Amino acid sequence: MAIEIEQQPSAVGLSKVAASETHGEDSPYFAGWKAYDEDPYDEHSNPSGVVQMGLAENQVSFDLLEDYLEKNSEASSWGSKEEVSSFRENALFQDYHGLQSFRKAMASFMEKIRGGRAKFDPERVVLTAGATAANELLTFILADPGDALLVPTPYYPGFDRDLRWRTGVKIVPIHCDSSNDFQITPKALEAAYNAAEAKNIKVRGVLITNPSNPLGATIQRAVLEEILDFVTRKNIHLVSDEIYSGSVFSSSEFISIAEVLAAQNYKKAERVHIVYSLSKDLGLPGFRVGTIYSYNDKVVTTARRMSSFTLISSQTQHLLAAMLSDKKFTENYIKTNRERLRKRYEMIIEGLRSAGIECLKGNAGLFCWMNLSPLLEKATREGELALWNSILHEVKLNISPGSSCHCSEPGWFRVCFANMSEQTLEVALKRIHNFMEQQRELKEMMIT
């Protein structure tokens, strides 16, 4: 700090929340970020640096957004001086209901993504500064400190912080494994519920991510129906984080929980809440645009009030209301983005396959779920971390080890493919190719 302040050892105390480690940043996985930050790959200036494959960002469709902005400058401004009231009105607007035009545009965009197979009511759209805020906010509303949410493994590492840190709520895992492609089963749901009960922990809900992070795959309709039956039987909530819904490679393959509910005439709906965001599908994580869509009136009202702590900038709502109301733009964007992600996915799967690596069959998202278990010296978390270390420091790729996602089977890794250029992806695939050749040679040497 430029202003050095002496920090007394008998310091004035902070809260338990402040002192806890639930923020998750002391985890060993941060070594990956560190290695990248200290030696970042650059095509020209640092071609031997670390390639970042641990960041689920969507950079494949920016040109479409830039094109829109170029043609529609009024979205990023407030018009000429004659239109004085527009800036003033926007700058003053802090109503937690959010700009109506923006809520309508979001509801409409969510419908488009689902091919019109589900309807969304703008009055049920609650806005938050990102899905990170949405998931935490819902947890505050659905569970008390000490209660639990059941979350299928492997899951997004950020949930450990988002669902637990300030809320005091616990996560009890629903164990999934490769024997059935990591699908959630009724058995696993019951087992998780019982595991919580055995520890005297009250379960308040199930939180799924569909399409899944890190699996990169959508959840099947039959599974969604089973989960819905389960939460209804137990009289608990269901949160469906559909943040990757616009990143499904084929438009017909994503079934949203909204569709399942509609098919059942919304009979069980008041326990269901959907989280969405523009951070992945539109590649706008900096703009902090998240939403909670709830079928429960009381949750909508309460979430709206609570969103006061995490409102979206009215300037950004104004920009995105314009953009997402443009049906021509959104239709083209969704279609093109989907197509480009599919191509990237095929490129990385092919590249890995020719290196002798198999991945889980995926159909969505910005990453693939890679199986390196054959390479493990020991089929343990330590074995996985040892392999991860080599990949990070020798192959110079920052990929995410499955243990950081609480995967019960060691050897799986999440590899992002949409946050870089095609050339960079080729470089990464080449490095993996070479690494696998070396591994084969080493094995042969050891056998002979």
- Decide whether 289 or 375 has the Cβ nearer to a second copy: 289
Tell me the DSSP string of 331-384: HHHHHHHHHHHHHHHHHHHHHHHHTT-EE----BSSEEEEE-GGG-SSSSHHHH
Residue 200, judged by CB atoms within 10 A of its CB (0-12, 13-18, 19+), counts as exposed
Q: Which residue in 87, 381, 385, 433 binds a second copy (CB under 8 A)?
A: 87
* Residue 210 CB, nearest approach to a second copy (Å): 20
Does 133 engage in binding with a second copy (CB under 8 A)? yes
Q: Which residue in 147, 160, 241, 281 is the catalytic one?
A: 241
Say whether 280 is catalytic: yes
Locus of tokens 């640096």 = 49
Got the DSSP string for 380-442? Answer: SHHHHHHHHHHIIIII-EE-EEGGGGT-SSTTEEEEE-SSS-HHHHHHHHHHHHHHHHHHHHH
- Interaction with a second copy in 10-29: which residues (CB under 8 A)? 10-18, 23, 25
Residue 71 engages a second copy in binding (rule: CB under 8 A):
no
Q: Which of 185, 212, 316, 373 binds a second copy (CB under 8 A)?
A: 316
SS3 81: helix
Q: Report the residue number, 16 or 328, with the smaller CB distance to a second copy.
A: 16
Q: Sort 193 into a burial class: Cβ within 10 Å, 0-12 / 13-18 / 19+.
A: buried
Select from 192-200, 218-226, 301-309, 379-387 the region that touches a second copy (CB under 8 A): 301-309
Cα angle: 167, vertex 168, 170; to 5 degrees:
110
The residues pairing with 208 across neighbouring beta strands, listed in sequence order, are 240
Q: Which stretch binds a second copy (CB under 8 A): 108-116, 158-166, 336-344, 399-407?
A: 158-166
- Segment interacting with a second copy (CB under 8 A) among 137-145, 179-187, 208-216, 348-356: 137-145
Residue 232: CB minimum distance to a second copy, A: 9
Q: Residue 398 forms beta bridges with which residues?
A: 52
Q: Does 295 bind a second copy (CB under 8 A)?
A: yes
CB of 307 to a second copy, least distance (A): 10
Q: How far is the CB of 84 from a second copy (least distance, A)?
A: 6
Per CB under 8 A, does 312 bind a second copy?
Answer: yes
The strand order across the sheet containing 148-152 reads 125-128, 290-294, 272-277, 237-241, 203-209, 148-152, 170-174
Place of tokens 């079928």: 295
Q: Give the active site residue among 104, 112, 170, 280.
A: 280
Residue with tokens 């589900």: 118
- Rule CB under 8 A: choose which of 54, 130, 362, 411 binds a second copy: 130
Interface with a second copy (CB under 8 A), residue from 31, 40, 64, 65: 65
Choose, from 141, 208, 243, 432, the residue flagged as catalytic: 243
CB 422: neighbour CB atoms within 10 A? 12
State which residue, 39 or 95, has the beta carbon closest to a second copy.
Answer: 95
Q: Which of 105, 127, 143, 415 binds a second copy (CB under 8 A)?
A: 143
* Helix (H) or strand (E) run with residue 59 in it: none
CA distance 143 to 135: 12
Is residue 243 annotated as a catalytic residue, yes or no?
yes
Q: Which residue has the tokens 């007394």?
A: 8
- Return the residue of 1, 198, 445, 446 that touches a second copy, per CB under 8 A: 1
Per-residue interface string for the shown chain with a second copy, residues 214-253, x marking contact by CB under 8 A: ---------------------xxx----------------
Exposed/middle/buried for residue 294 (C-beta within 10 Å: 0-12, 13-18, 19+):
buried
Cα–Cα distance list, 291 to 69, 98, 223, 236 (Å): 23, 11, 24, 21
Radius of gyration for the chain, computed over Cα atoms and rounded to the nearest angstrom: 23
CB of 173 to a second copy, least distance (A): 21
Rounded to 5°, the CA angle 298-211-402 comes to 115
Answer yes or no whether residue 93 interacts with a second copy by CB under 8 A.
yes
Segment 330 to 369, residues that bind a second copy, using CB under 8 A: none
How far, in Å, CA of 324 to CA of 326, rounded?
5
Q: How far is the CB of 222 from a second copy (least distance, A)?
A: 23
| Residue 82 or 444 having the CB closest to a second copy | 82
In the complex, least distance from residue 20 CB atom to a second copy, rounded to whole angstroms? 10
Which among 36, 156, 293, 295 is annotated as catalytic? Answer: 156
Per CB under 8 A, contacts with a second copy among 253-292 are: 266-267, 269-271, 279, 283-288
Q: How many residues contact a second copy, by CB under 8 A?
A: 102
List residues with catalytic annotation: 156, 241, 243, 280
